[in-house]
Structure formats: structure tokens, C-alpha cells
Amino acid sequence: MDRISSLPDEIICHIGSFLSAKEAAFATVLSSQWRNEFTIIPKLHFDDDDDDDDDDREKFKDFVDRVLALPVSCRVRTFSIKWNHVAAQQDEQINRCLCHVLKRGVLVLELQISVLREGYYSLPFDVFTCKTVSEMKLGSGFVVDFLPADASLPALKTLFLDSVQFHDSGGRCAFKTLLSASPVLEELVMDGIELERWKWSCTVSSPTLQRLTIRRREWYSYDAPYVKLDSRCLAYDFDSVSLVTPGLTYLEYSDYVPKKYPIVDLNSLVEAKLFLCVDQEDVWREEHADNFDPMNLITGFKNVEILDLTIEAVEMFYVFHEAVPVFEKLVRLSLGLSNFCWFSVSTVLKKFPNLKTLIIKDSLHYGEREDGWICQCVSEYSFLLSCPVEVLKIKEYNGSIEELEQVKHFVEKMSCLELVEVHAQVAGDKKLQVMADLLMLPRGSSKCKIQVKFSRKRYSNPLL
């Protein structure tokens, strides 16, 4: 008999209190005695699914009472609170409940909390010293001013931050401390983030990070005055951002561009999606070259194989095209041009000599001339003659004469084409006409096949 099994039940329960839900589950398999000692709760969840604040408060009180009644031997896999109408006096209730659960080996922690008063709900320090949590989602207005000196999240692999702000308190950057306390972090999602409102080290640094998403929701003029939200939430300088993520393989980056990128380490990057601009109303212009220096960032993408660019990012590449390196490894490029002029596309494409797949996500751009429908911004499409693309995908095609003329230029002049995939958003009798028009186009490559797929019109995020 093993030594642990001979111990009193009280001591076994105490030992079990240090186990995660996963480890406790293994223990119940190993011993029939332990099966009775450990209780595994898959999920504890509170959701304010109605508009009755009084009813929510009463329901949450009942929820807290049940959580606090959990025995020390109980393990919780997932703990979730979604509450957008929290009264000021309920902060303590939430924290008592949260701290109690964090001692029960929780693996997944999801908190979406908004307080009904000026200011923000502050997380208890126990959140940042939990040894078992592997996935954490924090959202809806948290402000993290300070992390404890013993902050440690040794199991945290996935971190989602939704509209969370980090500040520098006493010379210590809370965001930097959080990343340092997460030695095995693999994925970081920063959604609804406004970095210019943070007071921080201006550096995203993690040697283990593999996937990073920085996604802005609110867009406004870059030089517009920021609104003071409270004494802790002021608009700070947005002069620089550094990305020190040598193990990163995936990056989605949607934000305003700071003045410069002092340090960029993206040597392992394979796939990137970029929506970067300097102003809500203006895309990149030549005069921006004097005020911004994104070259460290652009050069950091030199090893990418898959790249997704919106029109704003295309313009950035164009403005600095003389300094932009050649992307030897890039094989797939997606362009979200949103009916903007394509004058910069021909220059940008020259930087991708081994490009195999080109995806045009938005409607084809065209302009009217006396000699027919042709995009004036790319002249006679001569840049297509040397284009190495083998697969061309057009995601939004409505079957107009103007669009057909554009497709004709691509198909006629791209000599390496093997497949043209057109997603036509038409219905009824028009399907046959669209199919016939496209299949009859003359082709510059004898290997070129044209496939037509019919679908309903969709409205999508520019990064999807």
C-alpha cells in the first residue's frame, strides 16, 4: 500500500487542494478511495442574461453563496463571470468568490465585468498568482495599475484581453510584469486595445509567444484630443512600439502606426495580417514619410510566407517602397483594396518575386476611359507580364462588364497562371451568363483553368 492512501481523509483533502482539476481527475482514476475525496466541476458560470439589475444582483448573491460553499477538495475546471451591470458595492462579493475558486485548481478563467460607476473594477492579486490557470480571458474595462512582486502564472498559455488598459505604477510597467510572469505563454489576443491610452514600457516582449493579435475597434483622427476618462486613464504618448517576440509565427495587427518601431524581432514569423494607418480619414501619403518610420516593422516581415494587407498597409509599403526589402519567402498574398485606386499595387507586387497565390478580397477596381473600361492607375497592366502568380482568387465578383474587363487583363497577361477562382455573388439566370463570360476569356497560359463559385454577397471584416 502507498503511504498517501494510509493518511487520514482530512490530510488527503489538504494535499488534493494543491492539485489542478486535471491532476485531480487523474488521481480519481488511480484510486477508488480518492474518487470519493475529489469532486470535479466542469464549469461554474454566471451570466447577466436579462435587464433586471435587481434580479441580477440577487442571482449573483446566490451564485456566490454556492461557490463559497464548495469544499476544499472540490476542483473547478472553468470559472466564468459575464456581468455588465455591476454595482460598486459588489466588487467585494466578486473578489471573494474569485479568490475562493482560484484555490480550486481552475484551468480556464473568463471575466467580463463592467462597473456601474465612474472608474473601474480592480482584479484581486490572486488572479496573477494562480499556479494552475492555463487560459485567461479578461474584458470590459479592466485597468491594471499594479501587479504584485510575486506575480506568477506558470501554466498560462493563452491570454485574451478585451478593452483592458495597463499602467505604470511606481516605475513598474504592469503589462511588462504580466508577460514576465507568464513563462509559457503561447497566444496573446489584445482586442479593443488603444495603446495610446496606456502608460507602459511600449514593448511587447515574450520569448515563448507564438500567436499575437493586436486589434483596434475605435478609430479617430490621430491628432485629435483624447477624452479624459478618469484620473488613471489619460492619453499618453504614442511615439513608439517594440515587438520582441522571436518565436512568433502568427501576427494580426490592426492599429494606428506610432512614430517608430525601435526594436522588432519577428524572425520566426510565418503569417501576418496588417491593417495599419496614420489617420482615420487619410491613407498613407508621401508626406507621412517625414513623420513616421515603420521600416523596422516592415523589415521584420521579411521571412513571412503568408501576408494579408488592407489598402492602408499597401499604401504604407508603397510610400517606403525604395527601402522595403524583397520578400523572398512570400508565397501567398491577400489584398483588401476596398474599391480604392490600385496605383500602388504594381510597385508593391515587385517586392514579392516568388509569389504563387494572389487573393483579391474586395470588388475589382476600374475606371472609365475612351478606349474601354480599364483601371487608369495601373496603365496597361504591364506589371502583370512578369508576375509569377500561379493561383488567382477573386472573392467578390458581381458580373458587371467593368469587372469582366478587369479579369480579362489578369487572365490574358499573367503567363504563369494555372488557376483562376472567381467567387461570383449573383443569382438566378445571371449565373449562366457569368459562367459563360468568364470561361470564354482568352488566356495567357495554356495551363490556366477558370473555376466559378457562386455565393451570396457578404460583408466582412477587412482582416478576414
Q: Can you give the residue ranges of every domain in the chain?
A: 356-464
Q: What is the pLDDT of residue 50?
A: 57
- Can you tell me which residue has the cell 483588401? 336
Q: What is the pLDDT of residue 93?
A: 82
Is 342 in contact with 362 (CB distance < 8 Å)?
no
Sign of CA dihedral 122, 126, 129, 134: negative
- Can you tell me which residue has the cell 503567363? 415
Is 203 in contact with 135 (CB distance < 8 Å)?
no
Q: What is the pLDDT of residue 448?
A: 95
- Residue 117's SS3 state is coil
Distance in angstroms (rounded) separating the CA atoms of residues 15 and 24: 10
Q: What is the pLDDT of residue 233?
A: 36
Question: Which H helix or E strand runs over 58?
Answer: helix 53-68
- Tens of pLDDT along the chain (464 residues) come to 466 666 665 555 555 555 554 555 455 545 555 554 457 788 888 887 655 566 767 777 787 778 877 777 788 889 998 887 776 667 788 888 888 889 888 999 999 887 765 556 788 899 999 999 999 999 876 788 889 889 999 999 999 999 888 888 777 889 999 999 999 999 999 998 888 888 888 999 999 999 999 999 877 644 443 333 333 333 445 789 999 999 999 999 999 889 899 999 999 999 999 998 876 555 566 666 777 899 999 999 999 999 999 988 998 998 899 999 999 999 999 998 776 777 788 888 999 999 999 999 988 776 655 554 455 555 556 778 888 999 999 999 998 888 888 888 889 988 999 999 999 999 888 999 999 999 999 999 999 999 999 986 554 454 44
Query: Between β-strands 372-373 and 368-369, what pairing exists: parallel, antiparallel or unpaired?
Result: antiparallel
| CB burial of residue 260 (10 Å; 0-12, 13-18, 19+) | middle
DSSP letter assigned to residue 445: -
Q: What is the pLDDT of residue 357?
A: 97
Q: What is the pLDDT of residue 380?
A: 57
Q: What is the pLDDT of residue 14?
A: 52
DSSP letter for each residue of 198-256? --S-SEEE-SS--EEEEE------TTSPPPP-BTTB-PPP--B-EEE-TT--EEEEEEE
Q: What is the pLDDT of residue 8?
A: 60
Q: What is the pLDDT of residue 235?
A: 42
Is 366 in contact with 390 (CB distance < 8 Å)?
no
Q: Which amino acid is at 62?
A: D
